Amino acid sequence: METDEKTSARTSYHHGDLRAQLLEATRQLVEEKGPDRFSVSEACRRAGVSTAAPYKHFKDKEEMLHHIALAGMERQRQQMLEELSLCSAGTLDRVVAMGRVYIRFARAEPGVFRLMFGLSEDHADHCDMVQLGDDTFTVVQSEVAKCHGRDTIIESDVNEAFLLWSFVHGLSFLLIDGKLKDAKVPFDLETTLREVAERVVGTEISGG
């Protein structure tokens, strides 16, 4: 007499798992249609509830998208940490791995990736996103420091990490925007990542 299958229509008045299912529908729609074309109504349709239901769980549309963006950042971070665990400590492999995962995530989930960054600039308002972003950036800095045989991060590590981040971030956007036709830039991603990492981490760039 409880709820039916999660996939089909429910039998009871209450849903049982609406919050999670709304978030999943939101994530899917952001991916399918892009963050700007997402609508709460359609997520409701997909979850099989009325259009007023979400507002028992979320303040507004923005909060729903915020959850998706934050979850995306956590997923990306987690994938980085997994990949890191496969590389031996203090090697450039680890820096390359983080870049590879960053770009892989952007290509695998361009909608969510765009949501994490490209959209409105009020991300800075949400301290949880800022915090998580900072944490991940700190990991990069730490890896850079370890490449230099240090355990504490100094300013040059921050600068190098930031150069790497900028590059990888920009490349991610150019790739998912389709600005880089394969014909136009016939590069090998892994090779490029490694060479950039070598140039940046291998050489001191004062930067201010």
Q: Rounded to whole angstroms, how far apart are CA atoms 153 and 80?
A: 19
Query: Virtual CA dihedral for 44, 45, 47, 49, nearest 10 degrees?
Result: 70
Q: Is 48 in the site for its own copies (CB under 8 A)?
A: no
Work out whether 38 is an interface residue with DNA (CB under 7 A): yes
Within residues 54-83, the interface with DNA by CB under 7 A covers 55-57, 60-62
Terminal Cα distance for the chain, rounded: 67
Nearest residue (CB) to its own copies, 21 versus 159 = 159
Is 40 one of the binding residues for DNA (CB under 7 A)?
yes
52 binds, among DNA, its own copies, none (CB under 5 to 8 A by kind): DNA
Least CB distance to its own copies at residue 75 (A)? 18
| 24 interacts with DNA by CB under 7 A | no
Residue 52: partners with Cβ closer than 8 Å, 6 or more residues away: none
Contacts 24+ apart (CB under 8 A), 31-36: 31/109, 31/110, 31/111, 31/112, 32/111, 33/111, 34/111, 34/114, 35/65, 35/111, 35/114, 35/115, 35/118, 35/119, 36/119
Report what 174 binds from DNA, its own copies, none; CB cut-off 5-8 Å by kind.
its own copies
> Scanning residues 89 to 148, which ones bind its own copies (CB under 8 A)?
110, 114, 117-121, 123-124, 133-134, 137
**Binder of its own copies out of 10, 25, 172, 197 (CB under 8 A):** 172
32, containing H or E segment: helix 18-33
CA dist list (Å): 55 to 88, 92, 128: 47, 47, 21
Which residues sit at the interface with its own copies, rule CB under 8 A? 34-37, 110, 114, 117-121, 123-124, 133-134, 137, 155, 158-159, 162-163, 165-174, 176-180, 184-188, 191-192, 195-196, 199-200, 203, 205-208
Residue ranges binding DNA (CB under 7 A): 2, 12-16, 18-19, 38-42, 48-53, 55-57, 60-62
